[in-house]
Amino acid sequence: MMWDKFQNPFFPFLNNIFQSEYLPNENFRDKKMLPENIWAWIFAPFYRAIFKQGVEENALYLDYRFVFVYIIFIFVVTSLLLSKFRSAMTTKTKFLSVNFFLGYVLWLAVFSINRYTIFFRITGGNHFSKNICLCFS
């Protein structure tokens, strides 16, 4: 239906690819929540939780889950590099960890809007508990 009306199935998004005549040929997206510098990219969960940067206006939003998952992720990667529990990780756990990490990086690069984090809220508990159990077993 969107294709029939606007020649773009994601109208008004991705217009630089589909080039609908109703908008300029550029990608429409909200950039006000994106991290401002390299440190905000690297430590984004801490900036959001402690300094409240990147929090939507008029929203009381204090969520420390990303901080805990970020710390566990650093611990898991360090342990994997030291091959402490590499053999203990199943293929499913590796897939979940890589999927969670890549999804987070894409979300941070493209949106950084908190209401789009539902995937991380659903899978974050599983990711956190599975990896914490592996680290301490």
- Note the Cα 135 to chain centre separation in Å: 23
Cβ–Cβ under 8 Å, residues 120 and 63:
no
Cβ–Cβ under 8 Å, residues 30 and 113:
yes
Q: Given a cut of 70, is residue 85 above it in pLDDT?
A: no
- Longest Cα–Cα distance in the chain: 59
Q: Given a cut of 70, is residue 122 above it in pLDDT?
A: yes
Model pLDDT for residues 31-72, shown as the tens digit of each residue: 777 888 889 888 888 887 777 665 565 555 667 777 887 887
Q: Provide mean pLDDT across the span 12-25.
A: 80
